[in-house]
Amino acid sequence: MKKIKLILLVFLLLANKIFSQTTEAKVETVFETLIFPTQSQHSHGSSLVSLPNGDMLSAWYQGNGERTADDVRIMGSRLKKGSKIWSAPFLMADTYNLPDCNPVLFLNNHNKLFLIWIAVQAHRWESSVLRLRTSVNYNNPGAPVWNWQDNILLSPTDSFAIETELKFKQLVPNQRGDGGYAPKYDNMILEASRDLAKRSTGWMTRIKPLPLTNGRILLPLYSDGYNMSIIAFSDDDGETWHPGLPIVGRGNVQPALAQKKNGNIAAYMRDNGDEPSRVQFSESADFGYSWTAAQKTDIPNTASVELVTLKDGRWALVVNDEDDGRYRLSLYISDDEGTTWKWKSTLENNPNKRAGYSYPSLIQTADGLLHISYSYKTENPGESIKYVVIDPKQFTKDNTEIAEWIKKKTWANGLTLDLHSSVNVDSFYVAYHRNKKLWDTAFAFLKTQHLETIAPGKYPILGDQVFASVTEAPSHKKEEVQWESHKNYVDLQYIIKGKETIGVADTAKSTITKPYTPDVINYMAEGNYYTAGQGQFFLFFPNNAHRPTILIDEYPVVKKIVIKIQTAKVE
pLDDT tens-place string over residues 137-156: 999 999 999 999 999 999 99
Start-end of H helices in 20-158: none
Each residue of 69-102: pLDDT tens digit? 999 999 999 999 999 999 999 999 999 999 999 9
pLDDT band at 178 (very low <50, low <70, confident <90, very high): low
Q: What is the DSSP letter of 145?
A: B
Fold of domain 18-395: Neuraminidase (2.120.10)
Contact 461, 469 (CB under 8 A): no
Each residue of 276-290: pLDDT tens digit? 999 999 999 999 999
pLDDT, mean over the chain: 91
Asked if 18-395 and 399-566 have one fold, the answer is no
Domain boundaries, the chain: 18-395, 399-566
Q: 267-297 as b/e, with b when 16 or more CB fall inside 10 Å?
A: bbbbbbbeeebbbbbbebeebbbbbbbbebb
Which residues lie across from 361 on neighbouring strands? 373
pLDDT at 549 over 50: yes
Q: How far apart are CA 452 and CA 442, in angstroms?
A: 17
Q: What is the pLDDT of residue 135?
A: 98
Each residue of 368-384: pLDDT tens digit? 999 999 999 998 889 99
Residue range 399-566, CATH number: 2.60.120.370
Asked if the bond preceding 183 is cis, omega within 30° of 0, the reply is: no
Residues 166-184 have a mean pLDDT of 75
Contact 538, 423 (CB under 8 A): yes
Residues 253-262 have a mean pLDDT of 97
For β-strands 536-540 and 418-419, DSSP reports them as parallel
